[in-house]
A and B are shown apart, each in its own frame.
Chain A
Amino acid sequence: MPPPSPLTDAELASASATLGKLLDALDLVLFGQRELTELVVTGILARGHILLEGLPGLGKTELVKGLVRALALEARRVQFTPDLLPGDITGNPVLQEEAGGRRVFVFQRGPIFANILLADEINRASPKTQSALLEAMQERRVTAGGETHALPEPFFVLATQNPIELEGTYPLPEAQLDRFLFKLEVRRNAPDVLARIVLHREIGVEPAVPAVLAREDLAELLGAVRRVHMPPVVADYIARLVNASHPGESAASAGVRFGASPRAALALAAAAKARGLRLGRPHASFEDVQAVAVPVLAHRILLDHAARLEGVTARAVVDRLLADVPAQAKPLPGSLATAKIA
């Protein structure tokens, strides 16, 4: 496959301006969560599915709804509950009688047939129902009744979940977690942000979010991300990071039971390229990888029992990986150290 042509300055400037508008629109939905909205936009640009985790009432659903409105795409929302069945999401074959009196099964599309599926409180559904999303998320198609149905392009799953410690929740299986590009934690707001929310929001009244991107604009941006250059040294850095996450491969992976998968390496690369485009660069960088490492890797690293008992978190492991794995693979001689550049 020939390498894609590098992005021109004009394309970069246009993409950067468009994405700036999108972020500004999302700022109207969530106050004081710029870092979170940037990551969400980055995930969208990387064609990834995003899992938002946080306590109820922090604005997860509002963020997704705002994104849907800003992107002007077809979106469906499914409120996941324990009694939700897989067919309630993917669709069911329905027996219909044709004009000649012949009865046939016709596939009745479920809510998943949309550009954006808002899976609200996804961890409240049973594992069986959660697994119904696996094929759709990975292959962007649904198979029912022996027939395969392609999902519309683009297709994103934006799911929210409450922390699993809460009652009435089911932890997502690892296979499904691995299909989420990002798992983002929605943290509570600072007092000044809360004050802004109190001043500018009202219960029952949704914020007005303008449609910033047309479907074609988004397709163009997604194509531009694929043309972002991945320098070999950055690819090598990603590979070393992912490899070091496995037990026994580095000191940072102490307490890890299973490390990140190759899909995680692909996710890191895609997210780094998307961030590079968002920042107006025609290439990905070490800094891009480091910026997206925690949301990409943390939910893919499984800790062993002892580490969990000791209070070690996957995020801490990723932080250790970032500290221990240098961008330059070749080690410095022992008598030298890298200088601290302010």
Chain B
Amino acid sequence: MAPAASRQFWESSSARLAARINLAVWLEHFGPWAFGVCSAAAVAVYALRRQAGPEHWAWVALVLAAAGAAGLAWRRGRARRYAAADARVLLESVLRLDTRLSAAHDGVAPWPAPHRELPPVVRWRSLAAPGWMLGGLALLALGAWAPLAGSRPDERPPVEKPPALAQTEAMLQELSRLEVADPASLEQLEAQTRELAARPTEEQYTHSALEAADTLRDQAMAAIQTLARGYDGAAAALGAREEAAAGTGPEGSAGGGRLAAALDGLRSGRLAGHPELLKSLAAAQTGRSGMSREQLQQLQSRLNQAGAQARGVAGAAGAGARMAQPGEGTGEGEGGADKEGKGPGRGGVNRGRGDAPLTMTLDPSARQEGRIEGVAGDDFSRASLGDLTGTERGGAHEVDPNRAHGSGAAGTVAGPARGGDAVWVDRLSPGDRAVLREFFK
């Protein structure tokens, strides 16, 4: 073979050997760094997948970090890198070429004949360096493709809404279905309900959220009851006016005033009456509608029915105190049909139970000291957490002033008290205050 070809063969062999050694040097530096970069990227990618965040930033950061680490590894291995001359010496010493390559390079001897098949001069002794990289890539693949079992928000078990909120929603839906309230005013309450329901799941059961839900439910129930009373009042006023018109009733113009007041109440309440009913009622109130007597009776009946439906809605979702239901025990009382009853009623036509409704009164004589009066809710089918299931009043609390108390925390004072009294108070002793002052100084 020509000397030039021999030279070319050995020089290219030296260059290839140097490249292989330099690759190993680079891998030894880059491998651990690549593992670190890939591990960090795997954690970041996995976390972003869990959070449904933008993963592409993690990939961009990975590429940049890997490129930086690669450059740094190349720089750090500079002193250990092989030049072609170094590789030539290694080649001739391992192949036992009697230093012919160096002598030929020095121009003293001819280049040796090329080997037909050059044996590998170096071999991999340890796969630690590529192992680092493979390990890092495996972690990266894990971070990128590992399944996110049970981690997606839509796969979490549904969290029940607070009972008060659920009751409010149910009431409003029922009202909307029965068409007894103005959809616009309903929408206001529904908007408030939606706002509460839209709060994060972990905040649904905080103290403030539960209080807000309870308040909203109470407000909704109060509004429904007001609406029901408005319908009842309007029906009664309409009946009174019709009776006056027919000459059988005592009222004349006063009945028209009551009807107008009822109409105003239905319009201005937090829950307004249904527009169609209000329209018919307004027409009946003006007397220019040309409605026949039968139509007016139908309107009265419809108003009564709407009032009953509204009460039924409030009663179905009642929180303990049972609302009066037609035929379910609300008595007529002693005051007759047109007066509020006092005390337990005798029951309706369908002879329901005779429990008296809880009533508020300003008459001190109504208090029956020494006797416990109570109301018990024994229908738990629709009760929910936090519902009041019974009350009692009139009796004295049995408080044992000598009852022993357990040890309390520092600054806590506890003691027996009568009903309504504060029985404990957190108070720091002067010594505790001094310690705290010293600490925060």
Which of A's residues lie within 8 Å of B, judged by CB?
6, 229, 231-234, 279, 281-288, 326-328, 330-339, 341
Contact = CB atoms under 8 A, between A and B. Distances in A.
B46 interface: no
A287 B103 CA distance: 13
Contacts of B123: 336-339
Given A327-B89, A334-B28, A229 B103 contact: yes
B103 A335 contact: no
Contacts of B90: 327-328, 332, 338
Contacts of B25: 333
Contacts of A287: 96, 98-99
Given A334-B126, A335-B128, A283 B109 contact: yes
A231 B24 contact: no
Interface in B95-142: 95-96, 98-100, 102-103, 106-109, 119-129
Given A327-B89, A335-B27, A335-B129, 4 more contacts: A283-B99, A287-B99, A330-B86, A339-B120
Nearest to B127: A335
B98 A334 contact: no
Given A234-B99, A282-B103, A286-B93, A338 B121 contact: yes
Nearest to B24: A333
B80 interface: yes
Given A333-B28, A335-B129, A336-B123, A341 B93 contact: no
Contacts of A281: 98, 100, 103, 109
A9 B376 CA distance: 126
Interface in B372-420: none
28 contacts: A6-B109, A229-B106, A231-B102, A231-B106, A232-B102, A282-B103, A283-B99, A285-B103, A286-B93, A286-B99, A287-B96, A287-B98, A287-B99, A326-B93, A328-B86, A328-B93, A330-B82, A332-B122, A333-B80, A335-B124, A336-B21, A336-B122, A336-B124, A337-B124, A339-B94, A339-B122, A341-B96, A341-B121
Interface centre among B82, B102, B107 (most CB of A within 10 A): B102
Most chain B CB inside 10 Å of its own CB: which residue of A6, A232, A330, A335: A335
Contacts of B122: 332, 336-339
Contact of B102 (A233, A326, A338): A233
A339 B96 contact: no
A333 B94 contact: no
A341 B94 CA distance: 7
A203 to B, nearest CB: 43
Contact of B99 (A233, A336, A337): A233
A234 B92 CA distance: 12
Contacts of B27: 335
A158 B398 CA distance: 128
A328 B122 CA distance: 13
Contacts of A288: 98
Contacts of B125: 334-337
A288 B102 CA distance: 14
Nearest to B88: A233
B99 A282 contact: no
Contacts of A331: 80
Nearest to A330: B86
A189 to B, nearest CB: 29
B105 to A, nearest CB: 8
Contacts of B99: 231, 233-234, 283-287
Given A337-B125, A339-B94, A332 B21 contact: yes
Interface in B308-351: none
A11 B51 CA distance: 83
Contacts of A341: 94-96, 119, 121
Contacts of A229: 103, 106, 108-109
Given A336-B122, A337-B123, A282 B96 contact: no
Nearest to B97: A285
Contacts of A279: 98
A338 B120 CA distance: 9
Nearest to A337: B125
Nearest to B130: A335
A235 B99 CA distance: 12
B111 to A, nearest CB: 13
Nearest to B20: A336
B58 to A, nearest CB: 30
A183 B287 CA distance: 146
Contacts of B86: 328, 330
A286 B24 CA distance: 26
B95 A234 contact: no
A333 to B, nearest CB: 4
Most chain B Cβ neighbours within 10 Å, of A6, A233, A326, A332: A233
A282 B109 contact: yes
A339 B94 CA distance: 8
A37 B96 CA distance: 24
B85 to A, nearest CB: 8
A281 B103 CA distance: 10
A42 B361 CA distance: 135
A240 to B, nearest CB: 12
A336 B92 CA distance: 17
A6 B93 contact: no
Contacts of B119: 339, 341
In order of increasing CB-CB distance, the 9 nearest A-B pairs are A327-B93, A285-B99, A283-B103, A337-B125, A285-B98, A229-B108, A231-B102, A333-B24, A328-B90
